[in-house]
């Protein structure tokens, strides 16, 4: 998708600090961390948000969550972590390419809204 910053990261046009990569999923450190550990997990194929998930494309979302579990294990986040996906303007989604934030490495505040 043109002018999508995460598609540009996938294409290697914008650098990122990669944590994991395979054919369909990429994980990299958030450039503006909101917690001690803040990683983004994205499908390589452009999907706008959680609202664009369908039976036809949900396999990659399941794979994102497998990778989230793998990363949490590797980074020893066994004391807990949070997975967040902002969907749409009211939720503050600033990059319109589906992504899952992994937040951890510290005690997180309980703020859901």
Q: Give the one entry of Zn ion, ligand AMP, none that residue 30 binds, where binding means its C-beta sits below a cut-off of 5 to 8 angstroms depending on kind.
A: ligand AMP
CB under 5 to 8 A by kind: which of Zn ion, ligand AMP, none does 90 bind?
Answer: none
Using the minimum distance from each CB to ligand AMP, give the nearer residue, 5 or 45: 5
Cα 58 from chain centroid?
A: 15
Please return the burial class of 10, using the count of CB atoms within 10 Å of its CB with bins 0-12, 13-18 and 19+. buried
Give the Cβ contact number of residue 9 at 10 Å. 20
The site for ligand AMP, by CB under 6 A, has a size of: 13
* Chain mean position to CA 26: 8
Report if residue 69 touches ligand AMP, rule: CB under 6 A: no
Asked whether position 83 contacts ligand AMP by CB under 6 A, the answer is: no
Considering only the stretches 25-33, 57-65, 71-79, 105-113, report the one whose residues sit in contact with ligand AMP under the rule CB under 6 A. Answer: 25-33
Residues 6+ apart with CB under 8 A from 110: none
Using CB under 6 A as the binding rule, whether residue 49 contacts ligand AMP is answered as no
H/E stretch holding 74 reads: helix 58-74
Q: Which positions touch ligand AMP (CB under 6 A)?
A: 5, 14, 16, 28, 30-32, 40, 86, 92-95
């Amino acid at each position: 998708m043109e002018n999508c910053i995460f598609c540009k990261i996938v294409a290697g046009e914008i650098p990122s600090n990669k944590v994991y990569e395979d054919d369909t999923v990429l994980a990299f450190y958030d450039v503006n961390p909101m917690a001690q550990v803040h990683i983004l997990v994205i499908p390589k194929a452009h999907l706008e948000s959680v609202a664009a998930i369908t039976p036809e494309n949900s396999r990659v979302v399941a794979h994102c969550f497998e990778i989230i579990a793998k990363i949490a294990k590797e980074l020893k986040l066994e004391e807990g972590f949070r997975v967040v996906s902002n969907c749409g303007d009211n939720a503050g989604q600033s990059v319109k390419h589906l992504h899952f934030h992994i937040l951890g490495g510290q005690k997180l505040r309980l703020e859901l809204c």
